[in-house]
């Protein structure tokens, strides 16, 4: 009696299997690349927002240091005090009856060292110091984000005992973001952002 033995043939991967595996790996790598792009974009956006918040805090600190102007001027004006800082048009001031600040800003633009020791009129008046600080702050802000527009609105508020000045710093800018998928609106790549800080000088 003859015994039949079936010999198993050694067999490797077919070309189709290799191609399917390569496609799966390629799709996975594309997904990882997209996630890294989103991560880098989010890191840049977070950094920018942090710098804007720090610059707003810096301006608030300057206003606290010069309370002789910021805490008094809005309460003596017939309306609100509004300062608009736009790097594309330099520092411009729209004031409600306060021409002192407008002249102080013009003087500080003409002489960046206006209130520094050894130059200009030292000591400066409170309005001169406010104008000088605004110009200095604008130049620092332009290095961080030169497309931002800053509005400072100060108004007298009655706290029940006396009238105090309250200022609102509003920084507006356009931010470039990365879309996560195709379903997102293409216009969403550029989003308007606003950062607001209320200061009681």
Q: Write the DSSP string, 89-129.
A: G-EEEE-SS-HHHHHHHHHHHH-TTTTSTTSSSSSPPHHHH
Please tell me whether the overall predicted TM-score, pTM, comes out greater than 0.85 for this model: no
The answer to whether the CB of 135 falls within 8 A of the CB of 38 is no
Per-residue pLDDT tens for 169-191? 999 998 876 555 554 555 455 67
pLDDT at 53 over 90: yes
Predicted local confidence at residue 2, as pLDDT: 58
Please give the distance of CA 19 from its chain centroid, rounded to a whole number.
48
pLDDT of residue 3: 60
Split at pLDDT 50, 70, 90, the class of 76 is confident
Q: What value does the mean pLDDT take over residues 32-36? A: 83
Q: Across all residues in the chain, what is the average pLDDT?
A: 81
pLDDT value, residue 194: 93
Q: Are 107 and 125 in contact (CB under 8 A)?
A: no
- Percent pLDDT > 70 in the chain is 79
pLDDT value for 61: 95
Over range 124-145, report the average pLDDT. 88
3-class SS shares of the chain: helix, strand, coil, % to 5: 50, 20, 30
Q: What is the DSSP letter of 187?
A: G
Share of the chain above pLDDT 90, in %: 24
**How do strand 163-176 and strand 190-199 relate by DSSP bridges?**
antiparallel
Give the pLDDT of residue 9. Answer: 56
Distance (Å, rounded) from C-alpha 127 to C-alpha 112?
A: 15
Distances (CA, A) of 106 to 34, 44, 123: 49, 35, 18
Q: Answer whether residue 59 shows pLDDT above 60.
A: yes
pLDDT at 120: 60
pLDDT at res. 167: 93
- Cβ contact 65:128 at 8 Å: no
């Amino acid at each position: 009696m003859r015994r039949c033995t079936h010999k198993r043939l050694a067999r490797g991967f077919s070309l189709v299997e290799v191609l399917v595996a390569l496609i799966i790996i390629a799709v996975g790598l594309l997904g990882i690349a997209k996630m890294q792009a989103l991560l880098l974009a989010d890191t840049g956006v977070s950094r920018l927002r942090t710098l804007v918040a720090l610059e707003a805090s810096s301006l608030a600190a300057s206003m606290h240091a010069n309370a002789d102007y910021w805490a008094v001027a809005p309460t003596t004006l017939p309306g609100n005090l509004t300062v608009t800082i736009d790097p594309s048009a330099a520092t411009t001031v729209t004031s409600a009856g306060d021409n002192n600040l407008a002249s102080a800003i013009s003087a500080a633009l003409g002489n960046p060292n206006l209130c520094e020791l050894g130059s200009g009129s030292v000591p400066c008046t409170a309005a001169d110091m406010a104008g000088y600080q605004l110009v200095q702050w604008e130049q620092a802000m332009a290095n961080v984000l030169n497309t931002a527009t800053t509005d400072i609105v100060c108004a007298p508020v009655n706290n029940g005992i006396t009238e105090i000045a309250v200022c609102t710093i509003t920084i507006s800018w356009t931010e470039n973001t990365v879309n996560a998928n195709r379903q997102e609106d293409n216009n969403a790549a550029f989003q308007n952002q606003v950062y607001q800080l209320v200061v009681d000088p």
